[in-house]
Amino acid sequence: MSYAAVKFENYIQISLQLLRRFNNQLKFDIYVRRTDSDYTKLFKKGDSIDWERVALYEAKGIKYFFVTKDEYQIYSLFVERLGEQLLESRQQLTVEESFVVLKELSQFTIHEMTVNFNIDERAVENVSNVVEGCIKELGKDPKSLINVVKLLANQPYILKHSMMVSMFSVLLAKASGMESEMNLRIVGMGGFLHDVGVSQLTFDPEDEKFLSAEQRKEMWRHPELGLQLLDNLKGVRTEVTQIILQHHEQPNGTGYPNGLRGPEIYHPAKIVAIADAFCAMISQRSFREALTVGEALSRLKELSGKFDKKLVDIFVKLMTPQKS
Ligand SMILES: [Fe+2]
Ligand SMILES: [Fe+2]
């Protein structure tokens, strides 16, 4: 069963993989599914997981475990913290664990998208399949996968931001008529890796309320730094690296690093630029409060010249609830 398929029921599928590393008390109940509508509580809040019992279930072929929709948020925060602990520690992250970190993050982002943004369920399901494909593709070279997760996770804001940008980029690409699975995957991957160069800066932009002129100059280098990093990783297509290099170019020529103009900018990079700006606007940052979705959409429209106008119109329409 795919991740997307379980998200609209009352129970959401989870992974126990990361929990194996830690013996914490649970802050949520865990269920197993007997039939499509019958879920039985396996562990309750306050318990630690009994791994022998889990093994018995696994031996019976039960691979999936669940939490209720109501407790999903608690589970996500818990797993996020475990993921951070794991990434900060010197323990080697296994390929399987890297997958879990990314998949859980994508599942959580999808959940947030349906709950917070009123996005059509089928559209979100499509997006989740594309993004899952991206994660698998990245995992073809296990070293690349682990490295990318580690680089992005260096700065707490970036990993979540990357996943969100990836999803909104695919959503916009689809809405603008892009159908080829390969192209969608390129957009998704570009969205996911667009800010990987930020990990190479000498400062964390999230720690700074204001950037000095020097820091701003350094910040402008993150697309090129990202490109250099990915040159060393296998399995990342040139199309993806072009997105990374060009995601801050603007059709009116005022972007960076090369001040490209409208038609010179790679189309998928224009898509990612809009998703990137939108996701940044609706997130709370160290230097300002988050905008509401409506405010962010108005802001995108006001910033004409900085983004592709046609794509902004499609995005605004996509994100504006239709009156039925
Ligand atoms: Fe960026
Ligand atoms: Fe970004």
Residues 16-48 have pLDDT tens digits of 776 776 667 888 999 998 877 788 999 999 998
- Kindly identify the ligand whose nearest atom is closest to the C-alpha of 220: 1
Lookup: tokens for 324: 């039925």
- Kindly identify the ligand whose nearest atom is closest to the C-alpha of 197: 1
- Kindly identify the ligand whose nearest atom is closest to the C-alpha of 158: 2
Answer yes or no: are the C-beta atoms of 192 and 163 closer than 8 Å. Answer: yes
**Distance from residue 198's CA to the centre of ligand 1 (Å):** 7
pLDDT of residue 168: 94
Residue boundaries of the structural domains of the chain? 1-91, 94-319
Place of tokens 């999936």: 64
Place of tokens 């009123």: 118
**Distance from residue 60's CA to the centre of ligand 2 (Å):** 44
In whole angstroms, give the CA distance from residue 27 to residue 295. 35
Q: What confidence tens digit (pLDDT) does each residue in 178-219 have?
A: 999 999 999 999 999 999 999 889 888 877 778 899 999 999
Percent of the chain with pLDDT over 70: 91
Place of tokens 């060393």: 232
- Kindly identify the ligand whose nearest atom is closest to the C-alpha of 198: 1
Band of the pLDDT at 127, cuts 50, 70, 90? confident
List phi, psi (to 5°) of 94. Answer: -80, 165
In whole angstroms, give the CA distance from residue 271 to residue 11. 33
User: Over 80: is that where the pLDDT of 315 sits?
Assistant: yes
pLDDT of residue 7: 42
In whole angstroms, give the CA distance from residue 285 to residue 160. 13
Q: Give domain 94-319's CATH architecture.
A: Orthogonal Bundle (1.10)
pLDDT of residue 86: 66
pLDDT of residue 2: 37
User: Over 60: is that where the pLDDT of 6 sits?
Assistant: no
**Distance from residue 312's CA to the centre of ligand 1 (Å):** 18
- Angle, vertex CA 127, rays to CA 122 and CA 131, nearest 5: 150
Higher pLDDT: 117 or 268? It is 268
pLDDT of residue 94: 76
User: Other CB atoms closer than 10 Å to residue 278's CB: what's the count?
Assistant: 26
**Distance from residue 279's CA to the centre of ligand 1 (Å):** 11
**Distance from residue 190's CA to the centre of ligand 2 (Å):** 11
* Torsion sign over Cα 139, 121, 302, 211: negative
**Distance from residue 253's CA to the centre of ligand 1 (Å):** 17
User: Other CB atoms closer than 10 Å to residue 70's CB: what's the count?
Assistant: 11
User: Over 60: is that where the pLDDT of 321 sits?
Assistant: yes
Mean predicted lDDT score pLDDT of the chain? 85
- Kindly identify the ligand whose nearest atom is closest to the C-alpha of 244: 1
Predicted TM-score of the model (pTM): 0.82
**Distance from residue 322's CA to the centre of ligand 2 (Å):** 28
- Kindly identify the ligand whose nearest atom is closest to the C-alpha of 192: 2
pLDDT of residue 69: 85
User: Over 90: is that where the pLDDT of 79 sits?
Assistant: no
Contacts of 79 (CB under 8 A, 6+ apart): 14, 18, 19, 104
In whole angstroms, give the CA distance from residue 209 to residue 288. 8
* Torsion sign over Cα 126, 237, 204, 218: negative
**Distance from residue 194's CA to the centre of ligand 2 (Å):** 6
- Kindly identify the ligand whose nearest atom is closest to the C-alpha of 278: 2
Lookup: tokens for 305: 């010249």
- Kindly identify the ligand whose nearest atom is closest to the C-alpha of 257: 1
**Distance from residue 235's CA to the centre of ligand 2 (Å):** 22
**Mean of the pLDDT values across residues 151-158?**
75
Q: What confidence tens digit (pLDDT) does each residue in 88-125 have?
A: 665 666 777 777 778 777 877 877 777 777 777 777 77
Percent of the chain with pLDDT over 90: 41
- Kindly identify the ligand whose nearest atom is closest to the C-alpha of 157: 2
Lookup: tokens for 226: 């990202």
